[in-house]
Amino acid sequence: MQLADFDIAAFLRDHWQQKPLLIRNPWKAWHNPLDPDELAGLACEAEVESRLVTRTPKSWKAEDGPFDEARIAKLGKKRWTLLVQAVDHYVPEVAALIEPFRFIPDWRIDDVMVSYATDGGGVGPHFDQYDVFLIQGLGTRRWQVGPRCDQSSPLLPHADLRLLADFTATDEWLLEPGDILYVPPGFAHDGVAVGDDCMTYSIGFRAPSRSDLLGNWCDHLLETLQDEDRYADPALPQQDNPGEITAEAITRLHRMITDKLLDRDGFARWFGEYNSAPKYPDVDWQPEEPVQAAGVRELLAAGSPLYRNPASRFAFVRQPAGGVSLFVDGECFACSGDTAALAEQLCARDRVELDPALAGSKVAVALLVELLNQGSATFDAPD
């Protein structure tokens, strides 16, 4: 799927992380990629994250999955919404929805959440800390958007839902199949199904917080430090008052901290591994039988295309001395020469047409064997 007559440059200049935008059916031919029954089936799987939000006249109720078929079947015509996370990991047609939005760097992409709602169903007025494109897949939904919110915005008392206590809409739209609503971080919004069989695809983009970056980077540094790495002050001068912490001591102590924190190359490697870590690390995507180099060479020589696992995260960082660091599912691979070009190719497309000449490259074959055996890629076409 591709967006038609959509001005990417204007969107990035005028709307990205600034203000909401309604995009009326920009697809050449919109087709809803997932049947509601298939979504319900995913919500019954133990490894799939799902949630059910039910609305009553006086309250909201949230339940976490997995659900059994009988639970979903008896919901009837109540006002309810079923939300399933990371559907792109399991349904190639849903994963394909990401491609038109890859003018945003891949490292920002989180996943595609899919929701199904009955008439009047929704999750209530709220705000998120990430950018989202809300694609109306099936049926109709009324979206209301309000002003920016922050941590001081009052919330309703609820153990499981962060619902705004005060919501005043500044814009309102009725979305039909194929329509898209972009909502930047912090903007209050509320979507309510109008009629049954309402499906919405939410393509979310991650934005790490400063506290997350600092906390996780420092945790990583602490794991690398040795107990012997301690303060030292050789040639210590005698000072007049033993109670003073001198400026020289403060400078040494501060440098002990900042020298590590300001290691840009170390930070780049850590962030690549941290950011590419799988969303659901407990899910095992490894092949049943280990892949061997001989088999990879045969497939390369035959011109077989390679497919990335939709659940995998690929990214690379260029190195000052040449070559790139390839990050895949939390692992780092140092690549140079032919493998550097291969790494960039792997990060650019979900389906990769590989040069058959790579069959003669021992390092390229070795890289592909590692990626195949950790379940990050496959030569088998997705079903």
CATH of residue 158: 2.60.120.650
User: Are 26 and 50 members of one domain?
Assistant: yes
CATH number, position 309: 3.40.366.30
| Mean pLDDT estimate for the chain | 95
- Token pair, residue 173, equals 């739209």
Q: Is residue 303 part of a domain?
A: yes
User: Are 75 and 183 members of one domain?
Assistant: yes
Region 116-129 average pLDDT: 96
Region 215-231 average pLDDT: 96
pLDDT tens digits, residue range 152-173?
999 999 989 999 999 999 999 9
Region 287-306 average pLDDT: 96
How far, in Å, are 7, 105, 179, 352 from residue 39 at the CA level? 32, 28, 20, 28
User: Are 196 and 308 members of one domain?
Assistant: no
User: Are 40 and 16 members of one domain?
Assistant: yes
Query: How far apart are the C-alpha atoms of 54 and 80, rounded to whole Å?
Result: 4
Q: Tell me the residue range of the domain where 253 lies.
A: 210-228+249-262
User: Are 120 and 39 members of one domain?
Assistant: yes
User: Are 215 and 201 members of one domain?
Assistant: no
User: Are 154 and 214 members of one domain?
Assistant: no
| pLDDT at 73 exceeding the cut of 90 | no
Whole-model pTM: value is 0.93
User: Are 254 and 177 members of one domain?
Assistant: no
User: Are 66 and 98 members of one domain?
Assistant: yes
Q: Is residue 279 part of a domain?
A: no
pLDDT tens digits, residue range 366-382?
999 999 999 999 998 87
Region 272-281 average pLDDT: 97
Q: Is residue 1 part of a domain?
A: no
User: Are 254 and 156 members of one domain?
Assistant: no
Please give the pLDDT value at position 78: 87
User: Are 223 and 196 members of one domain?
Assistant: no
Q: Is residue 57 part of a domain?
A: yes
User: Are 217 and 360 members of one domain?
Assistant: no
Query: How far apart are the C-alpha atoms of 71 and 75, rounded to whole Å?
Result: 7
Region 76-92 average pLDDT: 94
How far, in Å, are 15, 101, 376 from residue 8 at the CA level? 10, 9, 30
| pLDDT at 179 exceeding the cut of 80 | yes
- pLDDT-above-70 percentage for the chain: 99
Looking at the structure of the chain, the number of domains it has is 3
Q: Provide Rg for the chain, Cα atoms.
A: 25
**Do β-strands 50-55 and 60-64 pair in parallel, antiparallel, or remain unpaired?**
antiparallel
